[in-house]
Structure 1
Amino acid sequence: MTRKNSSYPLQPPRERGTLRALLLALLMHVLLGFFLYHGIHWQNSTPAGAEAELWTDVPDLSTPRPAPPPPAPVAPAPPPPTEDADIALQQQKRKQEEAAREAQLAQQRLLQQRLLQQQQEAEAKRQQQLAAQQAAQLAAQQKAAKLKQQQEQEQREQQAAADKLKQQQLEAQKKQQQLEDQQKQAQLDAQKKADADKAAKARAQAEAQAKKLDAERRARIAQMQGNMGGGDSSSGNGLAKSGNGSGAGGTAASPGYAEKVQRRVRPNIIWAGATEGLETVVSVRCAPDGALLSSSVTRSSGNAQWDDAALRAVQRSDPMPLDTNGKAPASFTITLRPAAG
C-alpha cells in the first residue's frame, strides 16, 4: 500500500495474516476447552447400568410341538473377584486416568507453546515490517529532501545565470547605445565639418571671385593712372595704395604693387558686422625683405571694432609682398573697406 507522507501521519504498517492467526488461536482455545471438558466429564461420570427386557413366545397348545432338545450344560460361573483384584483394577484405572490427564496437559502445553511461538513470530514479523516501513519512509524523506535541495540549487543557479545574462544584455545595450551615440556624434561632427568645409569653400570661391573682380578693376585703375601720369586713387571696395610710398632706393612702388598687397591682406580680414560707410586707412612701414616693422591706423572709420579688425588683418599679412625690384617699399598706406555682404 502506498501512502503519501503529507496526507497520513506515521502509522505502523498493517500486518498480513493477523486475522488468520487470531482464528487459529481461537480454534486452539476451543479445542483445548473441548478436551478439558470431556476429560473432566469422563473422569467424574459413572457407567450407567444396562437394562434389557426378555420376551418369550406363548406356546400354541393346539398344535403339538416336538420335544425341546436337552439344555446345554451350563459352564460354572467364575468365582467372584477378590478384594486385591479390585484394588489392582482401581490402581490400573487410576494410572490410565493420570496418563490420559498427563497427555492432555502435555498436549495443552504444546498447543500453548505453539500459539505463543506463533504470536511471537507474528509480533517479530510485525516489528520487522514496521522497521522496514519506517526505514523506507526515512529513506523516502531523505531522498525527497535531497531532491528538493538539488532543485533549489538548480533554481539558484538558473536565477544566477538569468541575472548574469540580463546584466550582459544590459551592458551590451549600454555599449550599443554608446556606440550609436558615438556614431551620431561622429555623423554630427562630420556634418558640421562638411558644412564648415562647404561654407569655407563657398567663402573662398566668393573671395576668389571678388579678388578677381577687384584685380581687374584695379588693373584698369592702374592703367588709367599710368596714362594720366600718376596721382592718388582708391579702389571701389577694399584696398588702395598711396602714391607717396617710396622704396629703399627712393623710387615709388610699381603700379601693380597695390594688387599684391590686396591679395595678401584681404584673406586675413575677419568681420561680420555692418559694412556701409566703413573705411580705414592703415600706415605701414616695412623692411626691404617685406618684414612688417610697424602698422597703425592713420584715419579711423568711426567704428573702433572695424578699425581693430583692419589693423589685425594687416598684422596677420606679415611679411608684405615684394615689389618688381625685389624689395618692399619702406612705407605706404593701405585703405581698407569691409567687403559688401
Structure 2
Amino acid sequence: MSNATTGAMGLASRFHPDRDPLRPPPAPGLGRGFSFAIVAHILLVVALSAGVSWRSTPVPAMEAELWSAVPQAAAPKEQLPTEPQPEPPKPQPEPPKPAQPTPQEVQAQRDADIAIAKAKERKLKEEKEQREAEDKRKLEQRKKDEADQKERDRKAKEEQAKKDDAKEKQDKAKADKARKDSEARAEAQRQENLRRIQGMAGASGGPSSTGTALKSSGPSSNYAGRVMRAVKDRLNFDVSSIVGNPVTEVDVRCAPDGRVLSARVIKSGGVEAYDDAVTRAILGVERLPLDTDGRVPSQMILAFRPKD
C-alpha cells in the first residue's frame, strides 16, 4: 500500500471516526439530490390539487320573473285533432251446418270405401305376382344362359384339346420322320465312308457293289443253324404262353475271333420278354462257332421263332 493511500485513510478516520476506513466513501451530493426529489414531488401534488379544485366549484344559480304592463288573457290551449274511432265489426252470420247423412248414405260410403280398399289390395297383389313372375323368368333365363355358356366352354375346350392332340401327334410324327431321316443319312454316310475306306484298302467289288467287305464272301449254308443252336442252348424261356409263332430278328455284331460285341433287336415278335431272353442268350454265348473257312462274320441278322 502507498503512502498517499495510507495518509488518506488516516485523514478520513480523523474527520469521521464512526466510518469503517476499509469501506469506500459514499458518493458526493447524495443528500442534495434526495432533498431536490422531495421538493419536486410536493410541487407536483400541489399543482394537481389546484387543477382539480377549480372544476369542482359550484356555479351560482339566478332566477328572473317578467311582468307585463297591461293584464292580458291567456290564449286557449291548443286542441289536438281527435282520430275517428273505428266502427265495431259487424257480426258475421254463422255458417250453415252441414246436413247429416242418412244411414243409407253412410252405408253406401262405407261400401264404396271397402270396394276401393279391396281394389287397391287386388291391384297390389297382381303387381306383386307380376314382379315375382318376372323375377322367376329372369332367374330361369340366367340359369339357361349360364348352362349354355358352360356347354360352349366345354365344347371349346374339347375342340382345343383335339387340336392340341392333333398338333402334338403331328409334331411327334415330324420329329420321328426327322430322326429317321437323320439316322438314314448317318447310315448312308457311314456306308459311304466304309466303301471309300475299303476301296482305298484294295476292295475288289465293282462300282455297283453294296457290300462292305474287301471281297465277296458269306457264311456257309449250315452256319446259321449252328449259331442258332448255340444260342438256343442258352435260351431259357417258357414259350407255351406265346400265342402263334412270331419272329424276332436280332442284329448281331461279332469280333473276328467269334466274341459277341453287341446284340440289338431290330424286329420284335410282339413279346418283349421273349425278345429280352433272346438278347441275353446271344450275349451269354462266349464265342460263336467258326465257319468252315475258320472265320466269323462281323455282322449277322438272326431270326428266332419260339416254337421252331
TM exceeding 0.5: no
TM-score (norm 2): 0.40
Q: With structure 1 as the length reference, what TM-score do the two structures score?
A: 0.36
Higher RCO (C-alpha under 8 Å, 6+ residues apart): 1
- Which of the pair is proportionally richer in helix? 1
